Structure 1
Amino acid sequence: MSAEQTNPSENRPASQFNPYAPGYEANPHPMLEKLRAEAPLFYWELGRSWIVSRYEEGLAVLRDDKRFSPNREDWEFASVMGSDAIIPEMEELNKNGLFALGEQGHARVRRLVSPAFTPRATERLRPEIQAIVDELLDTMAAKGRLNMVHDFSERIPARVIGSMLKIPSGHEEQFHEFTNAVAKSLFPSALAPEELAPLRRQIREGISLVTETIEDRRRNPRENDILTTLIQTEEQGDTLNKHELLALVSSLIVGGFETTVHLMSFCVYSLLQQPGVFAEVKARPELIKNLVEEVLRFDNFVKMGPARYALEDLEMGGVRIKKGQMLIILLTSVLRDERAFDKAHVFDVQRNGNSNIAFGHGAHYCLGANMARLLVQIAMGTLVRRFPEMRLVNPPAFGPHSLMRKMEVLEVELGTPSA
């Protein structure tokens, strides 16, 4: 469907929107600023979707469940991005995942699992997360110079998720492989042919491991254990079945791993490229929470999304949107909107982050947001305290990714650890 068929072409931006242009991952903001000014809501031919680049319209779409749905069954964008080559081992998990359920199914599962992800429930994980971070930083101290993406950001989330699920001792490496394989399976067309066989093996073995762990937890429930909580959760006789539990673990990996890895990497980069902010955070450790929120706002790593689908013909922002058409909310743009944030182009570690919609809004607010925030706050706070002299060696290097501004290399010199 062309833009002309969808809406008169007067809403086209002067410069063609291209999130895959060279240099976009490192600095998308000049292009997005132009987009907000010239065509804040326009039809993108390549992605077969409406692009939402301003905060007002983005928030309106996220909070309006009567006119917009996140149901992915008709996600035209998937074929454009190359994620149509389904990994068979993930197909059943995806069918039962939160992202694929209709409104009633989503509401039912969310109602059952929400108690396991409240701030209070998440806070109980603090000692485990702190121990994992401390152990990792002990091993990092001897290296001196390292790639913070690989050696820091990618190491912590998989271990934390495994710890949350109480994966049996001796299977940590297998679960780590499963975590990486699930994340990679989202975009199988980006994989080389020789990578598919080992990826499928790791997913099969991981599903078997998680299934065995779930069955063990049914027989031997534990206190303060997320799987036990999910298994025992019941509302008026309604419980989660085996496939739903497996899908939830997969969703936890997808949401908790990829997002947290990127957030941690961007936090380190934002901190080290701004010496004034680094000094401020070292002097006032309580600002770590603000740092995380401002990184989510100022330099969001989500390239494309979240996505919603129009449930009816409607008009918004001066354009006509047809029932069934997709809208992509550009978080990297809406969270830098000058109309919504005072001095939006200034990184302010003392800014009030209450308007942050980085984890969504309303009924589809990210269940794992509390966990992601706690994990990154602990990791960043400990890193700053133990390595107050760390410095950036080179600007980050970015790699290809359909939906994320994927930071692959962030070279840092740790300096002398604090006593």
Structure 2
Amino acid sequence: MNPNETNEIHQNDEKHASNQNHENTNSHLFTASFTNNPYPVYEKLRKDEPVFKVMFPHGEFGWIISRYEDAVQVLKDSRFSKDMVKRYGADRQSIFSSTMLFSDPPDHRRLRGLVQKAFTPQLVAGMRSHIQDIASDLLDNLPSQETMNLIDDYAFPLPIIVISEILGVPLEDRDKFRMWSNTFIEASTMKNTVLLQQHVQEFTEYLTAWFAKVRKDPGQDLISQLVIAEESGDQLSEKELLGVVSLLIIAGHETTVNLIGNGILALLEHPEQRDLLIKRPELIHQAIEEMLRYNGPVEFSTSRWASEDIEFRGQHIAKGDLVIVALDSANRDEEQFKDPDVFDITREKSSHLAFGKGIHLCLGAPLARLEGEIAVSTLLHRFPNMRLQADVDTLEWRPGMVVRGVKEIPVQLI
């Protein structure tokens, strides 16, 4: 056998091994075990194939970005478009298509500008005492002072009460919002498209009727401000109004629900960290940042599409290709964070990506942080001896391609 033949065999073996490695990694993505604990798969991706082509659960091929440095670049690179209509045309839109989440400048700037005045750090800081009252009332009125379902009894109602008050929608409809929100969040893995369409229609009809009511009798809430902006000229179309309010209702509570749930769960799994936080309550700010980094509430970024052919980290990303950043993977990148798999509430200032990066940085981040701080501190102060009432491996994680959170967390309070 001559040297050329030997070299060719060696190259073929390497190519076969690479393909086999890719298939093995692909088979571990989006499975039940991956949903329960994606971090071993992410570690393998970061090491072997940090820009990874995959078939997503909704049936479209695209790319997962898993390393921190690459994630930051994609999140800030204007060549990766957020405009769904540009990519798929008007025939394939969602209720969120006409929002800042799925738009590029200049539309993004206009849409975000109409909303962000309600979420400035100053206005959010002024809500502290009211949010504290909500947290205390929820714990005062628990069905039992001995046990609770952390999600249903505390983590969900707190942020939905807050966002409902900001928007001016009836608090008594919060269970409807939760049902619709669950459907939209889990849409990427849903097989029942009839139910999805039904809930989209119900949600749309609900909001359309509410807008009509607000037009007749506007108040001081954010929806009234947006409706008035729409009435005053060309700032918001009806479709944009519907999309923006839908996004605010759903994103306005989902992130915080899972921040509180995942954060408390991390403390219950690491009692030495819980005890440290009880002993040193001033660590709450660092603790929230570590909760966001360690097991963040938003697992994947929302979709981006290459607006042109792009050579990225040795891979050819073709124009129109779907690109998604694995935020929770980037937040465990060993090149960026020391001992990334260790939950440490004394960790110094964290540059995590839990709220994204660039112009699409989460608008509600200051509010989510404040709600998280108050929720965790109040619960620990009231029930310092609480403990998990189930094996952590038996907890059911929510399906879907966006949020990361547990459906139920049973807790023994005393």
Query: Is TM > 0.5 for Structure 1 vs Structure 2?
Result: yes
SS of 1:16 mapped into structure 2: helix
* 2:211 match: 211
Alignment of 1:278 onto 2:278: no
* 2:83 match: 71
What is the TM-score when the length of structure 2 is the normalising length? 0.83
2:73 is aligned with what amino acid?
Answer: A
Residue 25 of structure 2, aligned match among 16, 29, 38? 16
Q: How does 1:186-205 map to 2 (within 5 A)?
A: 186-187=185-186, 190=190, 199=199, 202-204=202-204
Output one character per residue of 1:363-393: Cα deviation in whole Å (capped at 9) or x when no partner. Answer: 1111111111111111111111111111112
Output one character per residue of 1:313-336: Cα deviation in whole Å (capped at 9) or x when no partner. Answer: 222212222122121111121110
Q: Give the 3 Å change call, closer, same or farther, for CA 217–60 of structure 1 in structure 2.
A: farther
Alignment of 1:57 onto 2:58: no
Give, in whole Å, the separation in 2 of the partners of 1:200 and 1:241.
19
Contact 1:62–1:362 (CA<8 Å) still a contact in 2?
yes
1:212 Cα offset (Å): 4.2
* 2:336 match: 340
Q: Give the 3 Å change call, closer, same or farther, for CA 53–97 of structure 1 in structure 2.
A: same
Give, in whole Å, the separation in 2 of the partners of 1:197 and 1:31.
33
Give, in whole Å, the separation in 2 of the partners of 1:197 and 1:111.
30
Q: Give the 3 Å change call, closer, same or farther, for CA 242–313 of structure 1 in structure 2.
A: closer
Q: Give the 3 Å change call, closer, same or farther, for CA 392–367 of structure 1 in structure 2.
A: same
* 1:365 match: 361
Output one character per residue of 1:55-82: Cα deviation in whole Å (capped at 9) or x when no partner. Answer: 01011111112x2122233778xxxxxx
* 1:79 match: none
1:143 Cα offset (Å): 4.2
* 1:5 match: none
Contact 1:125–1:164 (CA<8 Å) still a contact in 2?
no
Contact 1:395–1:410 (CA<8 Å) still a contact in 2?
no
Alignment of 1:43 onto 2:70: no
* 2:255 match: 259
Unaligned runs of 5+ in 1: 1-7, 77-84
* 1:157 match: 159
Contact 1:175–1:206 (CA<8 Å) still a contact in 2?
no
What is the TM-score when the length of structure 1 is the normalising length? 0.82
2:132 is aligned with what amino acid?
Answer: Q
Contact 2:398–2:407 (CA<8 Å) still a contact in 1?
no
Contact 2:84–2:97 (CA<8 Å) still a contact in 1?
no
Q: How does 1:15-414 map to 2 (within 5 A)?
A: 15-17=24-26, 18-46=28-56, 47-65=60-78, 67-73=79-85, 93-140=95-142, 142-167=144-169, 171-187=170-186, 190=190, 199=199, 202-204=202-204, 206-208=206-208, 210-212=210-212, 214-216=214-216, 218=218, 221-222=219-220, 225-230=221-226, 239-396=235-392, 397-403=395-401, 404-414=403-413
1:380 is aligned with what amino acid?
Answer: V
Unaligned runs of 5+ in 2: 1-14
Contact 2:398–2:406 (CA<8 Å) still a contact in 1?
no
1:257 is aligned with what amino acid?
Answer: H
Contact 2:101–2:360 (CA<8 Å) still a contact in 1?
no
Contact 1:359–1:366 (CA<8 Å) still a contact in 2?
yes
1:110 Cα offset (Å): 1.4
Q: Give the 3 Å change call, closer, same or farther, for CA 217–241 of structure 1 in structure 2.
A: farther
SS of 1:51 mapped into structure 2: strand
Q: Which has the larger radius of gyration?
A: 2
Give, in whole Å, the separation in 1 of the partners of 2:53 and 2:200.
36
* Count of paired positions: 387
Give, in whole Å, the separation in 2 of the partners of 1:92 and 1:60.
27
Contact 1:177–1:202 (CA<8 Å) still a contact in 2?
no
1:240 Cα offset (Å): 3.4
SS of 1:94 mapped into structure 2: coil
Give, in whole Å, the separation in 2 of the partners of 1:237 and 1:230.
11
Give, in whole Å, the separation in 2 of the partners of 1:196 and 1:40.
33
1:349 Cα offset (Å): 0.6
1:195 Cα offset (Å): 5.5
Give, in whole Å, the separation in 1 of the partners of 2:268 and 2:256.
18
Q: Give the 3 Å change call, closer, same or farther, for CA 142–186 of structure 1 in structure 2.
A: closer
1:64 is aligned with what amino acid?
Answer: D
Q: Give the 3 Å change call, closer, same or farther, for CA 231–379 of structure 1 in structure 2.
A: same
Higher helix share: 2
Output one character per residue of 1:238-273: Cα deviation in whole Å (capped at 9) or x when no partner. Answer: 643444333222111221122221111101100111
Give, in whole Å, the separation in 2 of the partners of 1:96 and 1:176.
25
Give, in whole Å, the separation in 2 of the partners of 1:216 and 1:197.
29
Give, in whole Å, the separation in 1 of the partners of 2:126 and 2:212.
25
SS of 1:161 mapped into structure 2: helix
SS of 1:394 mapped into structure 2: coil
Output one character per residue of 1:116-140: Cα deviation in whole Å (capped at 9) or x when no partner. Answer: 2211122222233222211111122
* 2:12 match: none
* 1:80 match: none
Output one character per residue of 1:24-65: Cα deviation in whole Å (capped at 9) or x when no partner. Answer: 222221121111111111211455111111001011111112
